[in-house]
Structures are given as C-alpha cells and as structure tokens.
C-alpha cells in the first residue's frame, strides 16, 4: 500500500511541475515576444508592480480583504 501512495505522490509532483514549467514558459514567451516591446528595465518594473501586495492582495492575503 505504501508503494501506491509513493507512486501517486510522484505522479502528482510531476504533474504540478509540468504545470508550473508550462506557466513560466508562457510568461517568458510573453516577455521575449518582440511585439510586446519588453526589455530588461520594463520586465523589472513590471515584476515589481506585480509583486505589490496593495494591488494584488489575493496573492498575499485573504481574498476580498481591505487594502492595508
């Protein structure tokens, strides 16, 4: 029975890794697409904007919470 749980855990881990890798590739391709006009400075600015918990509190806190 333990072998089945271990195998199921490995399958779940592989599945989540594949989803995460795919998502990162989508973001990477968006930034590298010439038509989107991103350079290192714009990418850095965008990431800092996206990590602002006052704008995106659903990532860092309770959904629909009042801004801090």
CA–CA gap between residue 55 and residue 58 (Å, rounded): 9
Alpha-carbon distances of 21 from 16, 18, 27, 52, rounded to whole Å: 9, 5, 10, 23
Report pLDDT digits (tens) over 39-65: 999 989 988 887 777 776 555 566 666
The pLDDT value recorded for residue 61 is 61
CA–CA gap between residue 32 and residue 13 (Å, rounded): 28
Per-residue tokens: 27: 């973001």
């Amino acid at each position: 029975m333990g072998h089945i749980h271990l195998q199921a855990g490995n399958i779940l881990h592989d599945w989540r890794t594949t989803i995460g890798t795919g998502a990162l590739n989508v973001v990477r391709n968006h930034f590298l697409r010439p038509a989107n006009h991103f350079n290192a400075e714009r990418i850095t600015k965008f990431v800092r904007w996206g990590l602002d918990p006052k704008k995106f509190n659903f990532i860092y806190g309770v959904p629909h919470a009042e801004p801090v």
